[in-house]
Structure 1
């Protein structure tokens, strides 16, 4: 049995089976990237629910694994060289799992970097912009008298959706006929625009065709449907 005692997080969230990958997460747009990926590749794992509403990511145990205090994070007991590996940042985890299993990332170098660029597009643009739009449209930010921040994020979110619309026109997935980690990185965030954030009208999401069709294709995948609800919210 693998000894994970070097990771203080396991004292707060003990591993029932330390020989399999440990996931620390909650089903937010960032969190579901990893749960969907794990469901798609079929790698055994154990999910630990982190209650971000109770600020559990800011406790010393969680910060020992991710000093940035965000979900998701993992411990892979079977990391490089057979040694346990702790890892945070959802994009990095997607790349790691794809390379570990040889799944959902092309082996052709040019196609591989094309996928990575779309993962980075999500990390650098879609996630931050959509997240800020959600704050200013649905949460406390909507009470701000100055509407310039809201309009900035609304306009940029609309523009980013158009980028995706152009990319997905005539394609099944971001890479054409091949489903990859680029799709997994994006689905949680794009789904939220017309769903949880209730911002479909203001971003003109409902005027798009390729993006909504892509969302429906992904939501029809059993692994995606499962991953969107893993781990169960505390």
Structure 2
């Protein structure tokens, strides 16, 4: 079987991208369960048959959206964690700020994930695996940043870096849900700075009490 030409591959990729963007918008406006493959095909300007040739169902579509966003997030997270020239505080604020920016940039996707999590959990085990894998990768990079804070003496050495990173990540997830549901226009930079201040203040307060 002959391999498609580069031009043909580019056309296919453009159509896939159009389908993913159309699906993301429709999932937001109509809801995940209410949106049909027919709706997505019409919005993308292709036939239903062509859509099914690229994606077998809606779960696969939202998985592809999530995977694209995940790759981008993991790339900048690794870049921050790998940069040894960044002091701990600067690295943490940058990391948290980028997370908030990603939430705003891909707001429709996060709304779908928040509103349809139960459906995805029940029907899309591959999607859940993708989410868990992404969480572990991001948590690993954040843990490395926390370990930098321990080395700089800003965090107590007896604290578990991974547990602290998980606690911070959990707070961020709560903020994501709040931003997505209430649409209150929280500034990513301000929020990142406030979370960083809260973490360091809590550690400092504990040290003073000791």
> TM > 0.5 between the two?
no
TM-score by length of 1: 0.30
TM-score by length of 2: 0.33
Q: Looking at CA atoms only, which structure, 1 or 2, has the larger radius of gyration?
A: 2
- Larger strand percent: 1
Q: Which has the higher contact order (CA 8 A, sep 6+)?
A: 1
- Larger helix percent: 2
